[in-house]
Chains A and B, each alone.
Chain A
Amino acid sequence: MLSDFKNRRRSATAEPPAPTPNSAPAVSQEAPKPMADCWQHIGIWGNNSCPELKAHLHCRNCPTYAAAALRLLDARPPADYRREWTEHLAERTTTAAAGTPFLVFRIGDDWLALGIGAMEEVGETRPIHTLPHRREGVLLGVVNVRGELLVCVSVGRLLGIKKGVGTEEALPGKAAGRLLVVSHGGARYALPVTEVRGVQHLVLPPEPPAPALDDQVMGAAGLSRVEWRGRSVCCLAEEKLFAALNRSLA
């Protein structure tokens, strides 16, 4: 209806009015209909008389103009278009990063990595409000993350890392400390860590070798140990980590 109105001026002067479909344009075997270029006549490139201009200010903001732009894609593909795309898509991409994305971080002296699926944000450290009678164990207290109180837990203590965060001497400088906000199964936790090295693509071995017997971190929630820039990083298994967390909080 709207386009009928917009084309009224043009169809009165130029061509006999074409029957305009009032539903979505049907895909037909014949070539697409000539475009109704109201913007050339009553729009911004015409005489500015279109009442819709008050609302949209410029034709490029108008849905009629956008719909006309989409109709350009109803044209037949140019010669060689399909062949070029076929060749282009058949090639293997070599630039894509191999491996699984993990957030690599450090707690004490141990480098850990957790899949980014669970990660919500990395933020500044915040004051941890301790809870009465819960001085020991994994639960450090609660932190305020943008007005929401989150349970703050020490992964260091959970995994048995010796110099875990939460003990004072573990933080070498205040600027280095970060607070990870992770979520799993609807529950959100805040995890203070010593340092974050961003998202890295780590290639996990298909069959991880059995962890060393004294490797406490791997035993607690490890998936596999990988080499990353000369360091041994322990990739954590999300399921195991959160199961252990829930057990120790209960």
Chain B
Amino acid sequence: MLFLVFQVGVDRYALEAARVTEVLALVELRKIAGAPVGTAGEFTYRGEPVPVLDLCQLTLGRASNLRLSTRILLLRHEVQHGVFKPLGLIAEHATELVQKNLGEFTAVSDELMAQDPRGRLRLLQLDQLLTPELRDLLAVYYFTQTLEADAV
């Protein structure tokens, strides 16, 4: 299984590459009014608006650094069972891919970790990161999108 490797601060994280549609440059984001902490904004991807969360803001409480290697991972986020919506995640040092088995990740407290030649690799569990406020925001966001799409 192929995993995308990136960093949040100094910690290295892995995310199943199958969930990622595209890795994009850190584009300019529009702010979402009244969005909770962790949301970076939204941008237009191929004509469709996509909300973006900042992984550094979510876990470390600071915005991601503006670097070439800081990129947006465009995910297919499962909002409900079988319903997928695009979601962007800002990740630092998103430059690598590794081949690993899911079985190599072992549970350490409530995280899944694997050993790697360059140190520990954590599996990104997005469901744990999403606070109830963020879930609400995404639900409302996607719902308004469908309404607007129907209106057009």
User: Which of B22-30, B75-83, B99-107, B140-148 interfaces with chain A?
Assistant: B22-30
**What residues of chain A lie closer than 8 Å to B7, measured between beta carbons?**
24, 27
Interface size on B, residues (CB 8 A): 25
Instruction: Name the residue on B nearest A77 (C-beta).
Output: B68
Does A23 sit within 8 A of B, measured CB to CB? yes
CA distance in complex: A57, B132 (Å)? 54
**What residues of chain A lie closer than 8 Å to B93, measured between beta carbons?**
27, 70, 73-74
CA distance in complex: A73, B68 (Å)? 5
Does B131 sit within 8 A of A, measured CB to CB? no
CA distance in complex: A39, B24 (Å)? 31
Report whether B26 and A82 are in contact in the complex, using a CB–CB cutoff of 8 Å: yes
CA distance in complex: A27, B91 (Å)? 11
CA distance in complex: A75, B93 (Å)? 11
Does B21 sit within 8 A of A, measured CB to CB? no
Which 9 pairs, one residue from A and one from B, show the smallest C-beta to C-beta distance? A73-B69, A90-B44, A86-B27, A92-B47, A85-B25, A73-B68, A86-B28, A26-B10, A85-B27
A residues sitting closer than 8 Å to B (CB atoms) are 23-24, 26-27, 29, 70, 72-77, 81-83, 85-86, 89-93
Report whether A75 and B67 are in contact in the complex, using a CB–CB cutoff of 8 Å: yes
Report whether B10 and A92 are in contact in the complex, using a CB–CB cutoff of 8 Å: no
Instruction: Name the residue on B nearest A28 (C-beta).
Output: B65
**What residues of chain A lie closer than 8 Å to B118, measured between beta carbons?**
24
**What residues of chain A lie closer than 8 Å to B92, measured between beta carbons?**
27
Which of A24, A74, A91 lies in contact with B68, CB distance below 8 A?
A74
Report whether B95 and A27 are in contact in the complex, using a CB–CB cutoff of 8 Å: no
Cross-chain pairs A/B with CB under 8 angstroms, 30 sampled? A23-B10, A24-B7, A24-B12, A24-B119, A27-B7, A27-B92, A27-B93, A70-B69, A72-B68, A73-B67, A73-B69, A73-B93, A74-B67, A74-B69, A74-B93, A76-B66, A77-B66, A82-B26, A82-B28, A85-B24, A86-B27, A86-B43, A89-B45, A89-B46, A90-B43, A90-B44, A91-B47, A92-B46, A92-B47, A93-B46
CA distance in complex: A82, B24 (Å)? 11
Interface string of B86-125 (1 = CB under 8 A from A): 0000001101100000000000000000000011000000
Instruction: Name the residue on A nearest B26 (C-beta).
Output: A82
Report whether B119 and A23 are in contact in the complex, using a CB–CB cutoff of 8 Å: yes
CB-CB under 8 A for A75 and B119, given A86-B43, A90-B43: no
Residue of A29, A77, A93 with most partner-chain B CB within 10 A: A77
- List CB contacts (< 8 Å) of B10-53 with chain A: 10, 12, 24-28, 43-47
Which of B10, B67, B119 lies in contact with A77, CB distance below 8 A?
B67
CB of B77, distance to nearest CB on chain A (Å): 18
- Known contacts A77-B67, A92-B46; can you find 13 more A-B pairs with CB under 8 A? A24-B10, A26-B10, A27-B7, A27-B9, A70-B95, A73-B67, A73-B69, A73-B93, A73-B95, A77-B26, A82-B28, A86-B44, A93-B46
Instruction: Name the residue on B nearest A85 (C-beta).
Output: B25
CB-CB under 8 A for A89 and B69, given A23-B10, A24-B118, A27-B9: no
CB of A109, distance to nearest CB on chain B (Å): 38
CA distance in complex: A81, B71 (Å)? 13
Instruction: Name the residue on B nearest A22 (C-beta).
Output: B119
CB of A152, distance to nearest CB on chain B (Å): 32
Report whether B28 and A70 are in contact in the complex, using a CB–CB cutoff of 8 Å: no
